[in-house]
Amino acid sequence: MSSTAAPAPPTEQGRVLLVDDEPAFQRLGGAFLRNLGHEVLLAGNAEEALAAHASQRPELVLLDLAMPPSMDPEQGLALIARFAGVPVVVLTGHAEHALALRAAELGAWDFLAKPIDPDLLRFVVSRALRKHRLDAEVIRLRQQQGDESMGLVGQAPSVQSLRAMIRRVAPTRVNVLVLGPTGTGKELVARALHDHGTQATGPFVPVHCGALSAELLESELFGHLKGSFTGAYRDQPGLVEVARGGTLFLDEVGEMPPPMQVKLLRFLQEGQYMPVGGRVTLSSDVRVVAATHRDLEAMVRAGEFREDLYYRLKGVVLRTSALAERRQDLPLLAARFAQWRGAGLSASALAWVSAREWPGNVRELKAVVDAASALLLPGQRDVDADLLSLAAGEAPGGSMPSATAGTEEAEGLLDQALTELERRLVSEAMQAAGGNQSEAARRLGVSRVGLIKKLGRLGLK
């Protein structure tokens, strides 16, 4: 290989591990790759190569098959599988068809015979690096899709931590207590625990513990027999029976009347209950997830909530955050709510959302965006700041938060949100088009040249 001709820079540059026992090839090959803008790691044998792979995390491995001590290509072939998650381009002087097939079967990305054509090497290295990055992007998008399948939209640290805890806790059968302000998605957390847990094939049954009196709540939870009270014209199973094999979600458990707390405690301890008017103890296998916006520990100290029930409920405690603690997610949440309504948000709308306080948290934000989307005129696609003001009960263009000038924080959040939304749309279009740029451009409503510029600007090439 000669390094005298300076080739054109490749479209992809990255960290490349060159594994070859010949010092001359290491020197020339390393210089050639560095001239192309790559960071080059060198290894002369299998031990050095595996150590470099573990510590330096290369994005591509160029692997010579014949190395000491045996110089047997089969020994080199055995190394391919050891470079997990990284494309491997095999380099060898044994330009045999059978050897190339064996390398491909073992996971090699490509096969180059020595002496190596510099232009071909440049092309193969660039394509392999691009493949590695596209694979990483697909993994990221699948993970993101898995995150959003929980219904928990956002990238704030508190939201990411909550999703991580849900993934850890969901497969277990431990009871979960979800704490957080009103309107922060506690039921979404409960549903995510159900959907990602062992009870996912069973029903998810919610009940609001503060909406009913103690007597009605007992009948609702545990059922009743015909004739047990006025109006009981037939046997009625309770929600603990309806939720059998699934999840029972006790919303606002802090509002539960004291007489019902005793009966719930027995059910949690023994898995058994007795319907209203019944004489026979029944059982039901359900997972219990409870939630409240109230301070249960303070209620325990005040004698308003049973201490033993509190400790039964709080197997694991998960907390949802107020929007004030995750303001960077405001534009993303608002845009997603508008998308669900088939609408978009203008730049002024995103700035308005970012600058406003949301005491009602996610529930309030969703209600305002839903109402504003419903106010769109025929042919109007994007919700603007004035529509949001109307939906929030404010005078358009009046005393609303700074939608045009805004604060530096709001502007920064807006830019970040717009970039992230654009990156997602372009990534999803490319994925849906199977990597075909023309088809992806058609889906996005832009020219192919415009798409290529976007891919470069967003770091998606």
Chain-centre distance for alpha carbon 332: 13
d(CA 459, CA 20): 32
Helix, strand counts (H, E) of the chain = 19, 16
CB neighbours of 73 closer than 8 A, spacing ≥ 6? Answer: 65, 66, 92, 94, 99
Report the pLDDT value the prediction gives residue 220, as an integer from 0 to 100: 87
Write down the pLDDT at residue 69: 63
pLDDT tens for each residue of the chain, 461 residues long: 544 444 444 457 889 999 988 888 889 988 999 998 899 999 888 888 888 888 888 999 998 887 766 566 777 787 887 887 788 998 877 556 677 777 777 778 888 888 888 888 898 898 888 888 877 765 555 445 544 556 788 888 999 899 999 999 999 888 999 999 999 999 999 999 998 888 888 899 999 988 888 888 888 899 888 878 777 778 888 899 888 889 999 999 999 988 899 999 999 988 888 888 888 888 888 999 999 999 999 999 999 999 999 999 998 999 999 999 999 899 889 988 998 888 888 888 888 999 899 999 999 999 999 999 988 888 788 898 888 988 888 766 544 444 344 445 444 554 565 666 677 778 877 887 788 887 777 777 667 777 777 888 888 86
Instruction: Give the count of alpha carbons within 13 A of 90, CB side only.
Output: 32
What span, in angstroms and rounded, lies between the C-alpha atoms of 269 and 279?
A: 19
Residues of CATH 3.40.50.300 domain(s) within the chain? Answer: 157-321
pLDDT for residue 431: 80
Count CB atoms within 10 A of the CB of residue 18: 26
> Does CATH place domain 157-321 in 3.40.190.10?
no
Q: Is 329 helix (H, G, I), strand (E, B) or coil?
A: helix
User: At which residue do the structure tokens 């290509």 appear?
Assistant: 73
Q: Which fold has domain 15-141?
A: Rossmann fold (3.40.50)
- Confidence (pLDDT) at 138: 57
Is residue 426 a contact partner of residue 457, using CB atoms and an 8 Å limit?
A: no
Helix, strand or coil, per DSSP, at residue 358: coil
Q: How far apart are CA 393 and CA 257, in angstroms?
A: 36
What integer pLDDT is reported at residue 380 of this predicted model?
82
Residue 417: strand, helix, or coil: helix
Q: Could you tell me which of 169, 255, 164 has the C-alpha nearest to residue 207?
A: 255
pLDDT of residue 41: 92
Stretch(es) of the chain classified as CATH 3.40.50.2300:
15-141
In one-letter notation, the amino acid at residue 384 is D
